[in-house]
């Protein structure tokens, strides 16, 4: 139905996962049509209970995309997991964008070699995307640089409204071709600059939550892995004594609950970086050291 596609519902799954309120907000779709659409979608997409054995079998089809570092892959259980959101946060120059660039390439490697065997969709909110870095990384993995660049759909988001609109466009792209990874670097930068002060905190969190929900919906519908980077703020800026971490990620509980896996990156010695696995439903808290190399993310120097 054209009206649903124009509103960003490109698949039966997207309709089945949507609430009646969301469908009712589509211009020209009456309440009666919403009920018929939901009933039809529910018959095609199972949305009820299933046994844990069935879920275990379904998880067997998940893929993990290598980060380029064996040590980092190790604490993640093999790499970035498809169908879920992985968040990496840390101070500037800790390797967040470098990791994004490497994964944009490794997501195209065959599954048998630790890749996702699909295209990458890349949303840049800070102007840090560098295609020349992708060429270096592609050569490391003995891939055709031109083909790698053509398999990355890139967009620069200029404000939070535009950032949200790009998700609707992403749905159209994912419905037409095989993608294995969505990257948003960074998910919070524009929200942080547009919504300033405690008076706008609730509005910021509500809109950030809407964006993250949209990302998770795409992960559920198309089985893609999602990687978001996040900025940090210094703890204890109000003068109060702080016994926790010196920095904390932006987004509070909205970000914490929306992401499946959380990684904190820190600067190490020279070009080495330290990754702390903060949260994961399947892996224990752990730490790994990796390096930023000319050809992307790699293992730490000896």
Give 10-residue mean pLDDT values along the chain (302 residues).
64 72 74 74 74 84 94 96 96 94 98 96 97 96 97 97 93 93 96 92 95 94 96 67 71 94 95 96 96 93 60
C-alpha span between 197 and 208 (Å, rounded):
15
The pTM assigned to this predicted structure is 0.87
In a shared domain, residues 271 and 201: yes
C-alpha span between 40 and 36 (Å, rounded):
6
Task: Please check whether residue 273 is in contact with residue 114, taking contact to mean a CB–CB distance below 8 angstroms.
Answer: no
- Give the position of tokens 């990355």: 152
The enclosing domain of 38 has a CATH number of: 1.10.150.20
278-281: Cβ within 8 A, 24+ apart: 280/76, 280/77
In a shared domain, residues 10 and 128: no
Say how many domains are in the chain. Answer: 2
Secondary structure element (H or E) that encloses residue 96, with its range: helix 96-106
Domain that holds residue 32: 2-44
Report the candidate in 281, 224, 183 with the shortest Cα–Cα distance to residue 82: 224
In a shared domain, residues 37 and 75: no
The enclosing domain of 232 has a CATH number of: 3.40.50.300
Residue 205 is assigned to a structural domain of this protein: yes
Task: Please check whether residue 68 is in contact with residue 108, taking contact to mean a CB–CB distance below 8 angstroms.
Answer: no
C-alpha span between 110 and 98 (Å, rounded):
21
In a shared domain, residues 19 and 126: no
Question: pLDDT value at position 238?
Answer: 43
Question: pLDDT value at position 239?
Answer: 43
Residue 57 is assigned to a structural domain of this protein: no
Question: pLDDT value at position 3?
Answer: 62
In a shared domain, residues 175 and 235: yes
Question: pLDDT value at position 214?
Answer: 93
Residue 196 is assigned to a structural domain of this protein: yes
Contacts of 175 (CB under 8 A, 6+ apart): 10, 11, 222
């Amino acid at each position: 139905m054209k009206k649903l596609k124009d509103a960003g519902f490109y698949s039966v799954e997207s309709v089945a996962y949507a609430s009646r309120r969301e469908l009712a907000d589509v211009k020209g779709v009456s309440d009666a049509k919403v009920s018929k659409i939901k009933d039809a979608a529910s018959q095609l997409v199972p949305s009820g209970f299933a046994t844990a054995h069935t879920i275990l079998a379904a998880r067997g089809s998940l893929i993990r995309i290598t980060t380029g570092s064996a040590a980092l892959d190790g604490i993640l259980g093999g790499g970035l997991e498809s169908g879920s959101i992985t968040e990496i946060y840390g101070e500037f120059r800790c390797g967040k964008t470098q990791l994004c660039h490497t994964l944009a390439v490794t997501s195209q490697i065959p599954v048998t070699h630790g890749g996702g065997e699909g295209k990458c969709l890349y949303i840049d909110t800070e102007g840090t995307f560098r295609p020349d870095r992708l060429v270096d990384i592609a050569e490391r993995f003995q891939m055709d640089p031109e083909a790698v660049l053509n398999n990355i759909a890139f967009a620069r988001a200029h404000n939070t409204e535009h950032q949200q609109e790009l998700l609707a466009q992403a749905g159209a792209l994912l419905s037409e071709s095989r993608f294995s990874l969505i990257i948003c670097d960074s998910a919070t930068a524009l929200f942080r600059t547009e919504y300033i002060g405690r008076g706008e905190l609730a509005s910021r969190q509500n809109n950030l939550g809407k964006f993250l929900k949209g990302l998770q919906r795409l992960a559920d519908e198309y089985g893609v892995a999602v990687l978001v980077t996040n900025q940090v703020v210094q703890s204890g800026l109000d003068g109060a004594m702080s016994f926790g971490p010196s920095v904390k990620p932006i987004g509070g509980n909205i970000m914490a609950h929306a992401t499946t896996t959380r990684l904190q990156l820190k600067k190490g010695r020279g070009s080495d970086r330290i990754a702390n696995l903060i949260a994961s439903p399947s892996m224990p808290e752990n730490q790994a050291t990796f390096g930023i190399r000319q050809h992307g993310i790699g293992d730490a120097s000896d």
